Structure 1
């Protein structure tokens, strides 16, 4: 680390800054590895999550102050930075701009800057005037962030791969000649849907431009050739069954019409067994595929009749007595579940975890009450966050599947809905949260989501006019959720601010 052992003079002061790994240090670390890291920003974040100062020292992590939270105020930003530097603290590189931005652009151009940067921050030097401008729920009004344009890379499209999902939606993926996207060799990027391909006028052999959106997700930016010679598949790539095009919210999507499609069955059963659904531990996709190919599993209920094949199963290649009995034990354990997990496991179109939890909470986890309402065409649109389309999806599904759903449910014991957090007077009912970006305190988003729901709050996957808070530790992020939150004037808070809220 580049931090001093002690300040040049005693001071009761709080800094705000960022930990980074310079490009030259990053390249030095990678030069000694067979499997290299993809980007210094990711490596710095991963290093901090280790919570081990020795690793930070070993990787030569550097820290730079970009703000004084409290403890000193000179009246201007340059004066504050000078004071920080006089204390021997490292300060973010900066310069005074008076009407001419060219000097600033030249100095901090990402191509010649030693630190990984994705843009510039402009801020009034007069801190008193800056504070008088106030702030939005997102950021102070005395600053402006400008992000560098995503760097584009040219490559050649070699194929368009189509993959059938559990709902029958067939998703296109661009396959192209390997290209180095900011340190990661990439050969694939999503094409979203049929309309996206049509707009790009794609054809095999076309020269396309690829970029890494927000330094993470590979995307196709443009097609320089525009041969428009691609063809929509006339059969499902998995089962060879008929396909049809649907128009969903103005976008064309391709769907498999065969209810017996192997890809749909595999995806549905993998989803059924997944952690957030019925949660059968160690039931991998490869194991599910093996069971389907053996003819032992053709629906969800078959999983609970696998004991009859134990003798043959333990003699199959890749399995043994210990692993088979362990898996059968996990299947038995999964019979204790909750209503929200059960609903989510069924793969009802448009009904995800949030909707499943909303139903379960409304019915206190009572399956019999749920099933009675479901087969009698209950109007689920009366529940929060349910619309007419979701309601139709629920009732169309049960119309064709009510018999096997009840038979499957007979395998389970349903735990009743857990009561909300009693040891707090915090009530988040009526509040909707969206979570984005990396987390510092919670191990994953599910942990944070469960905590919010324990206080009767809701968690949504996208920002809308109904969103009350976007939880994001990087309030200057250029992510789509941050942009949407700013447009809708949704309050953006950090993990720390959320924890203060519930405390």
Structure 2
């Protein structure tokens, strides 16, 4: 029967891609009728049977499904020795970690009743309408009791390339295309994508096997395609990885991002329980990040608005993870010293988490060491070297308050949407204004009309552009304290601190803050406000003492309005911490969503941590660093629509 299904599917596959079919129409019909008879006789419908791919379904949305048992993510390691220690005296099963979308399949009375994505581990999406299109996921099995199976929905490299070519799609990789295909509303369209399913966990059945290996055999007998695996002990893990998996990975048909090691004894593994994030009966082994060799050509020093000067490595172009890379941050002076980098050294580059280029090793250390500049690249004034608070890393700083790099960043921040919201001023224009002395203080922004003749004559400007810019500047005079405070660019503080100050200080807040900063015990008074610590309090005081005149002059140009209070007293998100990323559709911008969360008692953070409650991202399947971090920490990733139901 399996051979029959394969022959028919090969013919169908050729048809989809416009290739020569191995079967004539008459041969196809005869084999199809024969297959139908065999399925009726045996009661078994093998994965991907063409008899099951009729009657396409179109849905209007993917409904949410709560999993009966949490589909937890796995802890991981890149250390083979750790795997040996972890397994100890137990037998284990080592299998491919497929790189696609996890699907949970539920059966009752031998029939598939639900196929759902893993989602955040607790709540997934119902994709049952596309189940008939997934090879390796049977619609009917022999077992009539309740059965739950987890597996990975994947796409082969070969099918990925053909689909990418036939549809002229700009798909990044097989994983992304598989995820998008599985979530298509139209099952007819999904059927052209050649999705495949590889089962990796038998979650529930009437009589559970005693071992993982036995569960694989059981699932195969039911018609599932299972992930390839090897039985191991602590003494054979390294050999198995080296002699089998590492040799196979380059030619393996499907995308994989490592291996999974499970305790073979199911009861013993279950008895180990789970942590708050991961099960203790299995662990992922991640391949070491791919690195490539290249030659260091130079190190440039990039000054920033805060005065920090960052070293950036330049090297001969290399391709990593499908993109050409020519530079990578070196972070700080300590990292530079650790690598002992020199001009012309052979270095290795990799992408951390397959995203951010990093310098990994210096293979030559030729002694032609990189020179640390004595002067700022922007203003040519002397620089200083500073250690961070715990003395672990050393950094390079420009102390010149009139440094052009600081000024460019300063005015770029000033006109941002979340600051004074001046539209139509490009960074290149700000650079020219600073260079020509048009912008020397914040208040100068509101007197650019003094230089009308020069600005109109500039490249990229004209009478119309100039008038639009001046109009936008005039409109920005009406602002709020929160926008003003953010626009100042005080290191380490922004809208969150502004909100606290606005709540704690009497009106007019812009003036009251000045009085507080220059009062006795200013540090203690700021620290007494809930949410402001010593570092932020010190940063505020230091900034105002250095820039008080500039602040007062700027305030004189503005009409600082009171923010409208929201009448709602809802606090249903109290205690919850959110991180927002990606493109929004239901809110005009992130600021609006942030205000909604705060109005309801929640908090918004800028980065993922163990304290984060939810990551809001409409692209739940994204491979962004925030999504990856959330998944590693077991933090739910929710869309705007799900957020609105909280």
Residue of structure 2 in register with 1:494 after alignment: 637
Is this contact kept in 1: 2:198–2:227, CA < 8 A? no
Residue of structure 1 in register with 2:380 after alignment: 240
Worse-superposed segment, 92-101 or 338-347: 92-101
1:375 pairs with one of 501, 518, 527: 518
The alpha carbon displacement at 1:15 in A equals: 2.9
Provide the C-alpha distance between the structure 2 equivalents of 1:49 and 1:319, rounded to a whole number of angstroms.
49
1:95 aligns with 2:225: no
2:158 pairs with one of 20, 24, 28: 24
Is this contact kept in 1: 2:425–2:469, CA < 8 A? yes
Residue of structure 1 in register with 2:572 after alignment: 426
1:329 aligns with 2:476: no
Residue of structure 2 in register with 1:471 after alignment: 615
User: Measured at CA, do residues 497 and 295 of structure 1 come closer, stay the same or move farther in structure 2, by a change above 3 Å?
Assistant: closer
User: Measured at CA, do residues 316 and 470 of structure 1 come closer, stay the same or move farther in structure 2, by a change above 3 Å?
Assistant: same
Residue of structure 2 in register with 1:386 after alignment: 532
Provide the C-alpha distance between the structure 2 equivalents of 1:350 and 1:273, rounded to a whole number of angstroms.
18
State the Cα deviation string for residues 368-399 of structure 1 (Å, max 9, x = none).
Answer: 33333233335322234433232222111111
Is this contact kept in 1: 2:355–2:625, CA < 8 A? no
Provide the C-alpha distance between the structure 2 equivalents of 1:130 and 1:362, rounded to a whole number of angstroms.
53
Provide the C-alpha distance between the structure 1 equivalents of 2:154 and 2:421, rounded to a whole number of angstroms.
38
Worse-superposed segment, 452-461 or 200-209: 452-461
Provide the C-alpha distance between the structure 1 equivalents of 2:205 and 2:556, rounded to a whole number of angstroms.
67
Worse-superposed segment, 92-101 or 154-163: 92-101
| Secondary structure of 2:316's aligned partner | strand
Relative to the length of structure 2, the TM-score reads 0.64
State the Cα deviation string for residues 42-64 of structure 1 (Å, max 9, x = none).
Answer: 6667x679988699869948464
2:426 pairs with one of 284, 304, 311: 284
State the Cα deviation string for residues 169-202 of structure 1 (Å, max 9, x = none).
Answer: 1111000111111111001000001111011111
1:397 pairs with one of 543, 546, 563: 543
| Secondary structure of 2:394's aligned partner | strand
User: Measured at CA, do residues 311 and 382 of structure 1 come closer, stay the same or move farther in structure 2, by a change above 3 Å?
Assistant: same
Residue of structure 2 in register with 1:207 after alignment: 346
The alpha carbon displacement at 1:480 in A equals: 9.9
Which runs of 5 or more structure 2 residues have no equivalent in the other structure?
1-15, 17-46, 56-106, 119-151
The alpha carbon displacement at 1:302 in A equals: 1.4
Residue of structure 2 in register with 1:142 after alignment: 281
Is this contact kept in 2: 1:118–1:147, CA < 8 A? yes
User: Measured at CA, do residues 498 and 50 of structure 1 come closer, stay the same or move farther in structure 2, by a change above 3 Å?
Assistant: closer
Is this contact kept in 2: 1:433–1:471, CA < 8 A? yes
Worse-superposed segment, 283-292 or 202-211: 283-292
Matches within 5 A, 1:244-259: 244-249=384-389, 250=391, 251-259=393-401
Residue of structure 2 in register with 1:459 after alignment: 604
Is this contact kept in 2: 1:435–1:445, CA < 8 A? yes
Provide the C-alpha distance between the structure 1 equivalents of 2:614 and 2:457, rounded to a whole number of angstroms.
52
State the Cα deviation string for residues 234-262 of structure 1 (Å, max 9, x = none).
Answer: 11111111111111132111111221111
Is this contact kept in 2: 1:15–1:67, CA < 8 A? no
1:11 aligns with 2:112: yes
Is this contact kept in 2: 1:361–1:417, CA < 8 A? no
Provide the C-alpha distance between the structure 2 equivalents of 1:85 and 1:329, rounded to a whole number of angstroms.
71
Which runs of 5 or more structure 1 residues have no equivalent in the other structure?
none
| Secondary structure of 2:112's aligned partner | coil
User: Measured at CA, do residues 331 and 485 of structure 1 come closer, stay the same or move farther in structure 2, by a change above 3 Å?
Assistant: same
Provide the C-alpha distance between the structure 2 equivalents of 1:449 and 1:123, rounded to a whole number of angstroms.
41
Provide the C-alpha distance between the structure 1 equivalents of 2:344 and 2:535, rounded to a whole number of angstroms.
40
Provide the C-alpha distance between the structure 1 equivalents of 2:195 and 2:567, rounded to a whole number of angstroms.
41
Worse-superposed segment, 394-403 or 51-60: 51-60
Worse-superposed segment, 263-272 or 106-115: 106-115
Is this contact kept in 1: 2:527–2:533, CA < 8 A? yes
User: Measured at CA, do residues 174 and 404 of structure 1 come closer, stay the same or move farther in structure 2, by a change above 3 Å?
Assistant: same
Residue of structure 1 in register with 2:444 after alignment: 302
Matches within 5 A, 1:38-187: 39-41=173-175, 60=193, 62=195, 64=197, 75=208, 93-95=227-229, 97-99=231-233, 100-101=236-237, 103=240, 106-107=244-245, 109-123=248-262, 133-187=272-326
Residue of structure 1 in register with 2:143 after alignment: none
The alpha carbon displacement at 1:107 in A equals: 4.5
Is this contact kept in 1: 2:526–2:537, CA < 8 A? yes
1:408 aligns with 2:541: no
Worse-superposed segment, 71-80 or 406-415: 71-80
Residue of structure 2 in register with 1:227 after alignment: 366
State the Cα deviation string for residues 51-90 of structure 1 (Å, max 9, x = none).
Answer: 886998699484646678999776357788789889988x
Q: What RMSD over aligned residues (CA atoms) do the two structures have, in Å?
A: 4.6
Find the structure with the greater CA-based Rg.
2
State the Cα deviation string for residues 126-147 of structure 1 (Å, max 9, x = none).
Answer: 7776555443332333331221
The alpha carbon displacement at 1:148 in A equals: 1.0
Provide the C-alpha distance between the structure 2 equivalents of 1:364 and 1:114, rounded to a whole number of angstroms.
67
